[in-house]
Amino acid sequence: MANSHHKLIILGGGPAGLTAGLYAARARMDHLLVEKGAEGGQVLLTDWIDNYPGFPDGISGFDLAEKMLAQARRFELNSMFGNVTSLDLSEPVKRLQFEDGDTLSCDSLIICSGAHPRPLGVPGEVELTGKGVSYCATCDAPFYRNMHVAVVGGGNTAVQEASHLTKFADKVTLIHRRDELRATKIVQEKAFANSKIDFIWDTTVTEIKGTEGVERIQLLNRNGETSELKVDGIFVLIGVLPNNEMLPLDILKADAGGFIPTDLETRTAVPGVMAAGDIRSKEVRQVVNAAGEGATAVLAAEQYLANLS
Ligand SMILES: Cc1cc2nc3c(=O)[nH]c(=O)nc-3n(C[C@H](O)[C@H](O)[C@H](O)COP(=O)(O)OP(=O)(O)OC[C@H]3O[C@@H](n4cnc5c(N)ncnc54)[C@H](O)[C@@H]3O)c2cc1C
């Protein structure tokens, strides 16, 4: 496979990449999907997915990833493992450079490299992820019915999600490192008016504690005082970071956060290069829209390739 040329390369094997792979394989395009880890992407980080249609009882992240892969393989998905370290998009033929020195080239490329939540970086966080530490309230809020949860953050996402969580949790404590929120005023007003939300200001979380699941979090305020708060879960909503270290951000005209803007058909600023899923510049990052964009991107690639020949 190394040093080969393809009509279409799909970079990343999360929901966006696997759906792109399904569509490309089913359309019998000359394609190759490249993934550096396990196919499934962030879906593998989540215990249970309740909001992907077609699974009325929900499905584990692992099973959903396996099913997506199996479906693409049924149509002879062509895939390989490899860590792409740089991309040259300056010529009509696009070149991918791999960690081990190999290269690949293609006429069209779909970037599906995804994103990852910005972590707090405190003890207990990694160990308790999926056991009470969550990075997605839209995904996990219903698991906290009648419980007490903490939300960390002060931007729009954190404050909106704190309000959303009150539909399920009895109590939500929003912890922010400053003395005022960054969220827009209307979002703030709604949260302040919600009797289920408490605020702890000028405070950071320094440790997450628990054995089977989250039990307590340790807090440090600006005066240097420490305290503990009993919670059943903690939502870390301090931003999402794009997996973009291998992308030429200038030529792709990345936004201030490093995400890739596209038109509605997923076309980027570079002809023949599409971006789908969490790497796209957008508001909502969910499996269902990543999958939809993967499909759209293949149709855009087909159109681009048809105009080449
Ligand atoms: C904890 C958690 C829970 C979530 N729960 C839900 C939920 O319940 N419902 C929901 O709809 N959404 C949920 N999400 C969001 C959802 O997982 C993402 O929106 C979705 O996975 C995005 O798909 P993607 O294909 O764009 O990117 P990703 O899933 O991030 O996949 C990107 C892939 O690209 C690969 N890659 C990156 N860089 C390279 C490179 N240089 N070379 C080769 N490969 C590379 C990665 O290894 C990865 O496999 C959750 C997210 C998290 C973190």
The reported pLDDT for the residue numbered 198 is 97
From ligand 1's centre to the CA of 131, what distance in Å? 19
pLDDT per position as a tens digit, 286-295: 999 999 999 9
% of the chain beyond a pLDDT of 90 = 88
Q: Which range is most confident: 36-45, 129-138, 189-198?
A: 189-198
From ligand 1's centre to the CA of 266, what distance in Å? 17
Closest ligand 1 atom, residue 39 Cα? 49
Q: Which residue has the tokens 């040093």?
A: 3
Active site residues: 136, 139-140
The candidate with the shortest Cα–Cα distance to 73, out of 33, 36, 37, is 33
From ligand 1's centre to the CA of 287, what distance in Å? 8
pLDDT reading at 46 higher than 80? no
Residue range(s) of every CATH 3.50.50.60 domain in the chain: 5-117+240-308, 133-236
From ligand 1's centre to the CA of 193, what distance in Å? 34
The reported pLDDT for the residue numbered 136 is 87
What CATH number belongs to 5-117+240-308?
3.50.50.60
From ligand 1's centre to the CA of 262, what distance in Å? 18
Closest ligand 1 atom, residue 245 Cα? 41
Q: In which band, very low, low, confident or very high, does the pLDDT at 241 lie, cut at 50, 70 and 90? A: very high
pLDDT per position as a tens digit, 63-122: 999 999 999 999 999 999 999 999 999 999 999 999 999 999 999 999 999 999 999 999
**Atom 48 in ligand 1: which residue has the minimum CA distance?**
41
Give, for ligand 1, the residue of 32, 43, 262 to mutate: max count of ligand atoms closer than 8 Å to Cβ: 43
Give, for ligand 1, the residue of 136, 157, 236 to mutate: max count of ligand atoms closer than 8 Å to Cβ: 136
Average pLDDT, stretch 161-176? 96
The reported pLDDT for the residue numbered 48 is 81
pLDDT reading at 175 higher than 90? yes
From ligand 1's centre to the CA of 108, what distance in Å? 22
State the Cα–Cα distance between residues 114 and 10, nearest whole angstrom: 12
What is the CATH architecture assignment of 133-236? 3-Layer(bba) Sandwich (3.50)
pLDDT reading at 45 higher than 80? no
% of the chain beyond a pLDDT of 70 = 100
pLDDT reading at 44 higher than 90? no
The pTM (predicted TM-score) of the whole model is 0.86
- pLDDT mean across residues, the chain: 95
The reported pLDDT for the residue numbered 249 is 98
Give, for ligand 1, the residue of 23, 139, 246 to mutate: max count of ligand atoms closer than 8 Å to Cβ: 139
**Atom 5 in ligand 1: which residue has the minimum CA distance?**
139
**Atom 2 in ligand 1: which residue has the minimum CA distance?**
46
Residues with a CB atom less than 6 Å from ligand 1: 11-17, 34-37, 41-43, 45-46, 49, 51-52, 83-84, 112-115, 117, 135-136, 139, 243, 246, 277-278, 285-288, 290
Maximal CA-CA distance, the chain = 68
The reported pLDDT for the residue numbered 204 is 98
Average pLDDT, stretch 190-217? 97
